[in-house]
Amino acid sequence: MSEPRPTRILAVDAEIPDPAAIDEAARVLNSGGLVAFATETVYGLGAVATDPEAVARIFAAKGRPSINPLIVHVDDVDRARACVSEWPAIADQLAAQFWPGPLTMVLPRSFAIPDVVTAGLPTVGVRCPALLVARNLIARCDRPLAAPSANRSNRLSPTRAEHVLADLDGRIDLILNSGPTSVGLESTVLDLSTDPPRLLRPGPIDAERLSEALGGHAPILPSTDSSTDRPSSPGQMPVHYAPRTPAYRVDSAEEYRDRPDLAGWAIIQFGPEPIEPDARTARQICLDSPERAAHRLYDVLHILDHLQPPGIVVVMPPDRPEWRAVRDRLLRATRPIAERPRSS
Ligand code: TXA
Ligand code: MG
């Protein structure tokens, strides 16, 4: 084992990135290093996707199981096409409509993409991020970048450089700090290698918009109950993206009121109508719309982990399409309250 090296941080504007900072980050990446950078969704931990040794370092730094494939980030369609062996017309249409942006398309991979990136799968996920700092970096490297979210495996995704540093300090070479991310929730993952396409991970681009773009053909949706389902895609584990604080979910405010043992806990709720404030609660957080919830969810969970209440109780948003992506992450971040003994 080599000695941990301190992680350097370079501040850079997200929309007007300083070319000198991009040059330096590209130099680190092209010599096999790891650089965390922002996208519009969450911070990614990048390595050159065509360099298997560099990609292996991502798995080591994150403690990520080698069966969990990485998304390959590109700066345009041409670079995406070089990563795949088939680029169907529908990929062109989806790219025209949603790229650059938070859509990952899974397609048969080309020989340019090594096994370690895809965990040996015959497919690869490709995505062109909207944030300019990410695309400038890929362009400057002149190579696709494999980049999972820049957190230790099974921890919360980072929406700020500070989150990356807290998880990965000494394990990666550089963080490009361009401030908080705007979308806040990981990209939608759509598998186009099957017919019909399958939604592997709900995200900022919802199934309804995808159906429209697919000419009215709805993609196959993942099961809504991820706690009992088998992972829909490798890496989509039932408990994932979890805070360190014990976190449980209830379906209604009544279910919460019925639990006096939750005194002193923080409560997170969703939708426009906050429940009656409760003297028992340490903090009450209300995220009123799906967009705001996506934007703030990980940040709020990071803050609560810092404040260390005895626990977090999440009042689940309704099981409706507009809340699908947020519900998916909440189902992975929490356990059902029934799993907590009342006496403890
Ligand atoms: O928004 C995002 O997608 C962020 C930013 C950094 O781009 N990245 C991200 O990566 O969330 P990660 O590694 O945390 O999640 C990647 C997801 C996993 O659920 C993985 O299983 C799935 O994409 N995935 C990647 N390649 C796949 C493939 N070939 N087949 C099926 N699923 C795949
Ligand atoms: Mg992740």
Give the span between the Cα atoms of 71 and 176, in whole angstroms: 19
**Ligand 1 contact via 201 beta carbon (within 6 Å):** yes
Q: Fill in the amino acid letter for 206.
A: D
How much is the average pLDDT of 232-255?
78
DSSP 84-126: BS---HHHHHHHHHH-SSSEEEEEEBPTTS-HHHHTT-SEEEE
Distance, CA of 44 to chain centre: 8
- Ligand nearest, relative to CA of residue 44: 1
CATH number of 8-213: 3.90.870.10
Model-level pTM? 0.95
CATH number of 247-339: 3.40.50
CB within 8 Å of 32: residues ≥ 6 apart:
47, 48, 51, 53, 54, 57
Mean pLDDT across the chain: 92
Q: What is the pLDDT of residue 227?
A: 45
Q: What is the pLDDT of residue 287?
A: 96
**Ligand 1 contact via 71 beta carbon (within 6 Å):** yes
CA 275 to centroid of ligand 1, rounded, Å: 35
Give the span between the Cα atoms of 106 and 305, in whole angstroms: 33
CB within 8 Å of 58: residues ≥ 6 apart:
34, 45, 47, 64, 70, 146, 147, 148
How much is the average pLDDT of 318-324?
95
Which atom of ligand 1 lies nearest, measured to the CA of 43? Answer: 6
**Ligand 1 contact via 149 beta carbon (within 6 Å):** yes
**Ligand 1 contact via 233 beta carbon (within 6 Å):** yes
**Ligand 1 contact via 204 beta carbon (within 6 Å):** no
Q: How far is the CA of 278 from the CAs of 9, 78, 172, 245, 283, in angstroms?
A: 42, 55, 43, 20, 10
Among 59, 188, 189, the mutation site with the greatest number of ligand 1 atoms within 8 A of its Cβ is 189
| Residue 131 token pair | 């944030």
CA 203 to centroid of ligand 2, rounded, Å: 13
Q: What is the pLDDT of residue 224?
A: 59
CA 14 to centroid of ligand 2, rounded, Å: 21
Instruction: Say if residues 129 and 13 touch (Cβ distance below 8 Å).
Output: no
CA-nearest residue for atom 31, ligand 1, is 233
How much is the average pLDDT of 272-285?
80
Give the span between the Cα atoms of 164 and 34, in whole angstroms: 12
Give the chain's count of helices (H) and strands (E).
Answer: 11, 15
Give the span between the Cα atoms of 70 and 47, in whole angstroms: 10
| Per-residue pLDDT at 273 exceeds 70 | yes
CB within 8 Å of 212: residues ≥ 6 apart:
none
CA 216 to centroid of ligand 2, rounded, Å: 30
Please report which confidence band the pLDDT of residue 5 belongs to, taking 50, 70 and 90 as the band edges: confident
> N- to C-terminal Cα distance for the chain?
42
Of all residues in the chain, what percent carry a pLDDT higher than 70? 93
Q: What is the pLDDT of residue 228?
A: 43
Q: What is the pLDDT of residue 222?
A: 84
Q: Report phi then psi at 74, rounded to 5.
A: -130, 165
Would you kindly state where each structural domain of the chain is located, as residue ranges? 8-213, 247-339
